[in-house]
Amino acid sequence: GGLIQAVAESCLRGNNGARLIVPDGLDAFTFLFSESAGRAVVAVPRSEELRFTDMCGARGLPATRIGVIDGDTIDLQGQFTIPLDELRHAHEATIPGLLA
């Protein structure tokens, strides 16, 4: 669960990779797997990033930039890289493989 599940599902659905960075003050495990309530993952075009953060600030909503949509892998800076093809295979083949 947590952020990595949301990112993985979004990347698989959109067939786009992501490069993520762990925000200062957090360890990678907490960043990826914490399941605190009330969070959303939002992809915003770079040209709209400032407008989006201003909009969130005006409404008292915290927003943290955690990465960019890019490539054909999920990459957590300094930690791991998973190709989307490998992730898709694991995602789609696991249950059918167990039930075969």
Task: Summarize pLDDT for 16-45 with one digit per residue, the tens.
Answer: 999 999 998 989 999 999 888 778 999 999
CATH assignment of the domain containing 83: 3.90.650.10
Residue 86 structural domain: 2-99
Query: What pTM, to 2 d.p., does this model score?
Result: 0.85
3-state secondary structure the chain: CHHHHHHHHHHHHHCCCEEECCCCCCCHHHHHHCCCCCCCCCCCCHHHHHHHHHHHHHCCCCCCCCEEECCCEEEECCCEEEEHHHHHHHHHHHHHHHHC
Count of domains observed in the chain? 1
Q: Which residue positions in the chain have pLDDT lower than 70?
A: none
